[in-house]
Amino acid sequence: MIWQLQVLEEITTKTYPLTQSDHELIASALEVLEKNFDDGVYNHTVGGAIRCKNGNIYLGVNCDGIHGSCAEYIAIGAAITAGEREFDTIVATHDKALNGLLPPCGNCRQMLFNYCPDVKVILNDEHGTPVKVDVQDLLPLAYTRIIVSE
């Protein structure tokens, strides 16, 4: 049996330039990582920050373990716990990553798509330039929940 990969169409991603408040969000995520960095016992190596549409910022660090949680999950959990439901921009950082930026993992992409499908994600583009993208562009053909009403 021979498998052939066929490209149906080119997927393009719209990018947005970073604003001053985006740079401040990155700085907040790097700061929470610096304050909590631990590559030993707890393995806190990623810092996350989410800005809500009202301007409030919530922070998180990854929690390593058997069922570890990414920094993005922790930051969104903090925001939701505080009653937030409208999200603007999110970022994940690592001190040794290019520009300090990490793209979200597959699980985080799906979670972001479910909880905040209009959120922008700060990451590096294919040239290493920091940009914002729509989370929907990071997860083409995403799984969506189907709610069956009776």
What percentage of the chain carries pLDDT values higher than 90?
70
CATH number of the domain bearing residue 65: 3.40.140.10
24 C-beta neighbours (distance < 10 Å), count: 13
Q: What is the structure's pLDDT at 1?
A: 52
Enter the pTM of the model: 0.87
Residue in 9, 72, 84, 86 annotated catalytic: 72
Q: What is the DSSP-derived secondary structure letter of residue 38?
A: B
Whether 44 is in a domain gets the answer: yes
Q: Is residue 86 among the annotated active site residues?
A: no
Please report whether residue 125 resides in a domain. Answer: yes
Q: At what angle do helices 71-81 and 106-115 cross, to 10 degrees?
A: 20
Residue 10 is predicted with a pLDDT of: 60
**For residues 58 and 47, is the Cβ–Cβ distance under 8 A?**
no
Do 56 and 35 contact (CB within 8 A), yes or no?
A: no
Q: Is residue 145 part of a domain?
A: no
User: pLDDT tens for residues 61-81?
Assistant: 998 877 789 999 999 999 999
Report which of 51, 1, 60, 52 is spatially closest to residue 29, judged by C-alpha positions: 60
- Into how many domains does the chain fold? 1
What are the tens digits of pLDDT across the range 32-54?
A: 999 998 877 777 789 999 999 99
Q: What is the predicted pLDDT for the residue at 145?
A: 74
Q: Is residue 71 part of a domain?
A: yes
- Residue 72's domain comprises 15-138
In this structure, is residue 106 part of a structural domain?
yes
> Using 50, 70 and 90 to split pLDDT, how confident is the model at 128?
very high
Structural contact between residues 73 and 111, judged by C-beta atoms closer than 8 angstroms: yes
